[in-house]
Amino acid sequence: PAPSYIPLPYPDETTPLNKLLITICEKRSLPATEYSLFDGGTQSELDMDLPVGTGLGIIRLVRKPDAAGIALQATAPQSQVGSGSPSLARARASIRSSKSDSKGSINSVQRNASGPLFFLTPAVAAQYKTFPVVKVNKYGVKQFRIMGIDATSITNFKSALDAEDPDGQASEDDSGGGSLRRDSRAKAFLSMRGLRRSPSTTGKGEANTKRPSRPIEDILEVAYDFSRKANAFSIRYKDKEIHYESKLADEIVAKIEMLLQMRKNPTISVV
């Protein structure tokens, strides 16, 4: 099977974008002449002679419209280069195709093949950052959480968004509130069976999860779970596997994978 990430040297800030384009396409066995780099903010095509360190926050790798009409997108959040530290370019591309249904509307079909590219230095991967996620338990009940990740641990706290998607929108299979109704019925069933536990609270009165923090060293694997959903992923610990969904799944998986690589290779510095 193909690896879940592609090792790439972090480009020097003076590297021109056309060289970065060629490097990415070579790694993914793509014809560079059929692709171009776009500014993720303005959605405008970039000048390929510009250096990588122009201050771009998001760069998208897009297949040109005249090339079979398929767009391959790659996202690279702005990162801080740390003292020559090595890094990984996380690779999972989203190939999107469109087709019309019987009513003539357009349905987007996303096929995840090789991925958004996240250029992460060890220093950036180790920085604490929070992400809105949905935790899916073994009964299919969705629990909204705020996941915090740093160099040593993953924290998991209850979200204030108890009745809405933390992504800010319902997914296609959740339209009409059906998912929330199913969750309510499931919670009621678990309560009757005595399987639900009341959340503990901190001294500040904030609700915690049953185990709000787990060390990175206990993680065996982080992986996408496309069989469930395009934005689904799972974290396998030594004692259990936990399933999540998040609009930021790509960045979460990239960050955790980088931290795991850093633990396997202690020579990687975070300064």
pLDDT digits (tens, 9 = 90+) for 37-63: 877 556 678 888 888 766 555 667 777
Q: Residue 11: what pLDDT?
A: 62
Tell me which range, 50-64, 78-92, 133-147, is most confidently predicted by mean pLDDT: 133-147
DSSP code for 207: B
- My answer on whether 155 and 68 are in the same domain is no
Segments of 22-74 assigned E as strands: 35-39, 59-63, 71-73
**What total number of domains does the chain contain?**
2
Segments of the chain assigned E as strands: 35-39, 59-63, 71-73, 88-91, 94-100, 106-112, 117-120, 129-136, 142-149, 153-158, 208-215, 219-224, 232-237, 241-245
- 61-65, 71-75, 222-226: least confident range: 71-75
Q: Print the domain residue range for 168.
A: 128-264
- My answer on whether 65 and 47 are in the same domain is yes
- My answer on whether 103 and 137 are in the same domain is no
Q: Where among 120, 139, 170 does a domain terminate?
A: 120
Dihedral angle computed from the Cα positions of residues 126, 78, 243 and 268, in that order, rounded to the nearest 10 degrees? -30
| E strand or H helix that includes residue 256 | helix 249-264
Q: Where among 120, 138, 165 does a domain terminate?
A: 120
- Let me know if residue 91 belongs to a domain: yes
| Alpha-carbon distance values, 187 to 11, 148, 161, 164, 241 (Å) | 49, 25, 16, 16, 21
- My answer on whether 232 and 257 are in the same domain is yes
- My answer on whether 56 and 176 are in the same domain is no
pLDDT class of 166 with cuts at 50, 70, 90: very low
- My answer on whether 154 and 83 are in the same domain is no
